[in-house]
Amino acid sequence: MYARGRAAFVYDSLMRESISRFKYKNRREYGNFYGEELWRSCEKAVRSWDIDVLIPIPLHKSRRRARGFNQAELIAVRLGEKLKIPVAADILVRVRKTKAQKELSDQERKINLKNAFQVVKNEVKSKNILLIDDIYTTGSTIDAASAVLLEAGAEKVYFLSISIGRGY
């Protein structure tokens, strides 16, 4: 569904620990670091994609309330500043409370995200969208979000993530 994607790091034990601190130990300042690293390592690719808007993968409102922030949004804001591309965190929402993907098999991940996202402000028509997420493992999250955005009229959907699993 998505056109292309990139990541700054391979998902290994060091990245697992770093992302865990970021998400679960309230280390919000990591968002600036990760945004800078994505810019540094992926700027050339992003410029070639002619991106109109950055959209962070949304958390369900209950998870965002519990955590206090959306890690993908913090990364997107810093990356948007560096690229001078607007961030729209209010276009795509997670309408279903889903299980944490890390707890599921590849097949369960796809089922878990079925009908999880919805476009609530249709400002994506004929635009090139860059989705921002923290970890890309099977691609289920990016696939589900991309499908909804393309259905709403997006021209192309790309993604950047902090880290990507080996072999992807």
Domains and CATH numbers, the chain: 10-164 (3.40.50.2020)
pLDDT at residue 104 in the model: 75
Q: Cα 37 from chain centroid?
A: 15
The rounded radius of gyration (Å) of the Cα atoms in the chain is 15
Predicted confidence at residue 167, as pLDDT, reads 63
Residue-averaged pLDDT of the chain: 92
Q: In which residue are the tokens 């998870």 written?
A: 63
Q: Could you give the angle at the alpha carbon of 30 between the alpha carbons of 41 and 104, nearest 5°?
A: 85
Q: What is the pLDDT of residue 168?
A: 58
Please state the pTM of the whole predicted model: 0.92
**Local structure of residue 48 (DSSP, 8 states):** H
| Residues lower than pLDDT 50 in the chain | none
Task: Give the side-chain half-sphere CA count within 13 A for 4.
Answer: 10
CB 125 within 8 A of CB 109: no
Looking at residue 154, what is its pLDDT?
96
Q: What is the amino acid identity at position 99?
A: K
Q: Give the pLDDT score at 114.
A: 82
> What pLDDT shows up at residue 100?
73
Q: Which stretches of the chain are assigned E, i.e. beta strand?
A: 4-10, 53-56, 92-94, 117-119, 128-136, 156-164
